[in-house]
A and B are shown apart, each in its own frame.
Chain A
């Protein structure tokens, strides 16, 4: 093989194609789907039904970052951080030292609310701004490059107007991008079928740079977990459904069989 020719070919390609720097997730299979990783500073919505592995995916994203020496932050609104850490300990990739040394910082949203005096059931504009400021403050002060908010649905339930939710997510995403922080917003959805929304409030999906949907495919009475990258600005990516398995080594992905990628019900009823 003429290696010189090949080298030239690569040089031509590199000059003509621009590719954004990537946040290499380190999650088995995901970087392949994303052709190298999530473009830096993106806000990615990870939408999934309950038990679909969203929290594990989010936590592994942080742990892989911590393993590479990045500072990571996790805001938990769905379960207390104590429980979260206890659940995540079963994974071989997690080491409590990452928390002790400050590489992984877990924040309870309830505590954050209390510190900010956000004890009320509904947040107004001022409260939303206080929340954005405190999150960006944290990211900025400790130099966070990977952030997970679990879940943005629980958080947004306190924001009553759709416009305010939009403002909140848009402003937060913009500020985090400026700080070079790649963010995963976990979103809880009730259905991950073809006709479903990818977010609870409808606005998150429009604002996010990327959408990763997680759910179950029912095959002859068994639920198979799947992950599908629906959108990712700034990169080409596979849009196929991938089967996922939550192993002690973390999330593992493989393309889902084309002849078995649709739920029985969906194919039967043509939904």
Chain B
């Protein structure tokens, strides 16, 4: 399967540092392409390890999507916020998937991420949050804005790169303005359609 990555994202990422927080804006149709174009340089070019928080889809689906384009994500730890809500959803064979009961348990997500980062061997790590929009379904605007504030600052302080995926035209204004304010970098593919 031919899959074309957006190389300009890699170029842009090469300018950022570990204590950056990057807002990655995508549209409805290019979410996975943007995700892969962000994740791949982090893993392959910068040799980073990390945590992928999947709130929009089950982690298995994401892992399989990466596998379908020939990318091994076995050394990335996934925190799956979706599958616990589906009976039998947590019965999976991937040892790198961790489950949190629900996307409303935001603090648990943060603590689980910190726990994984404490147990990981890689020196340089990222946290990939997929996505603000999925969290916004379950969480009240003020709480989500507060959470993103804590989230970004926590990882910035620990020199862990945070990458936050966002479909801006569907994000509550309060959350979006806060995100714009706290993030140090912006990768904007929200309106761009490649071919």
**Measuring CB to CB, which residues of chain A are less than 8 angstroms from any residue of chain B?**
219-220, 222, 224, 243-245, 247, 249, 252-260
Q: A222-B102, A254-B107, A257-B147 are in contact. Are A245 and B138 (CB under 8 A)?
A: no
State which of A222, A244, A254, A258 has its C-beta within 8 Å of the C-beta of B146: A258
Which residues between 132 and 191 of chain B lie within 8 Å of chain A, taking CB atoms?
A: 138-140, 142-143, 146-147, 150, 154
> Given the complex, which residues of B lie within 8 Å of A243, measured CB to CB?
107-108, 110-111
Q: Which residues of B contact A249 (CB under 8 A)?
A: 115, 118-119
In the complex, which of the residues B106, B111, B119 contacts A260, with contact meaning CB atoms closer than 8 Å? Answer: B106
Contact B114 A257 (CB under 8 A): no
Task: List 17 A-B residue pairs with CB atoms under 8 Å apart, sorted by A's residue number.
Answer: A219-B104, A219-B105, A245-B108, A247-B111, A247-B112, A247-B115, A249-B115, A249-B118, A249-B119, A252-B111, A252-B115, A254-B154, A259-B142, A259-B143, A259-B146, A260-B104, A260-B107
Cβ of B150 to closest chain A Cβ, rounded Å: 7
Contact A257:B111 (CB < 8 A) given known A219-B105, A222-B104, A224-B105 = no
List, in ascending order, chain A residues with CB within 8 A of B150's CB.
Answer: 254-255, 257
CB of A257 within 8 A of CB of B115, answer no
* Interface bin, chain B: 20 to 34
Q: Which residues of A contact B154 (CB under 8 A)?
A: 254
Give the residue name and chain of the B residue nearest to A258 (CB).
B146
Q: Decide if B4 is an interface residue (CB 8 Å cutoff).
A: no
Q: Which residues of A contact B147 (CB under 8 A)?
A: 257
Distance in Å: Cβ of B46 to nearest Cβ of chain A: 26
Q: How far is the CB of B87 from chain A (nearest CB, A)?
A: 15
A169 → chain B closest CB, angstroms: 33
Contact residue among B108, B139, B142 (Cβ-Cβ distance under 8 Å from A224)? B108
Q: Give the docked Cα–Cα distance between A253 and B139 (Å).
A: 21
Q: Which residues of B contact A219 (CB under 8 A)?
A: 104-105
Q: What distance in Å separates the Cβ of B147 from its nearest Cβ neighbour in chain A?
A: 6
Q: Which chain B residues lie closer than 8 Å to A252 at the CB level?
A: 111, 114-115
